[in-house]
Structure 1
């Protein structure tokens, strides 16, 4: 937080520290969800599975701190149904407080993603 203040980075608002942290946590959680869905880690061979990762799409979700652009992973056959940010969902409430609370306790964004999952 002190480093962010020194660099003139705001806590909230567009490109604010809390928005960036929320983006990292949501994207990590979505990557975890698609890994569970497909059954293999990113950059691993899928083996005999016919479904595979197929890039991502940009989506902007509205949070209590403002709009947060995120990258939502896709799969080839379109069967991936994300849970943390569902399809067609545009508004997230309560995630900001949870992310801020958990990061204040010293958890990494990977730990927070695992907790959300």
Structure 2
């Protein structure tokens, strides 16, 4: 389980008077023809974005506490999952637990199992 902590400066900047949100700044910087925005991130890229070690992300994925796609042993992190965590953390001004964004167990098989 990883918790996404939102620093006070990020919340102040995001909800400040008339300032654009980081997401709108990011989107406005991209042109419509820019298709290089990845849908999936490597564990290293996700860890860097979250400010944690890659091993922390691997452990959270293995425990079923972090959304991921496993293909033949390779783990990919959906970029939308990181965006959703950020959105909830900023809009609700709270620490988000990554387990809130994982699938529940189905048919007795843990969503995080191989």
Q: Which has the higher strand share?
A: 1
On whether the aligned pair clears a TM of 0.5, the verdict is no
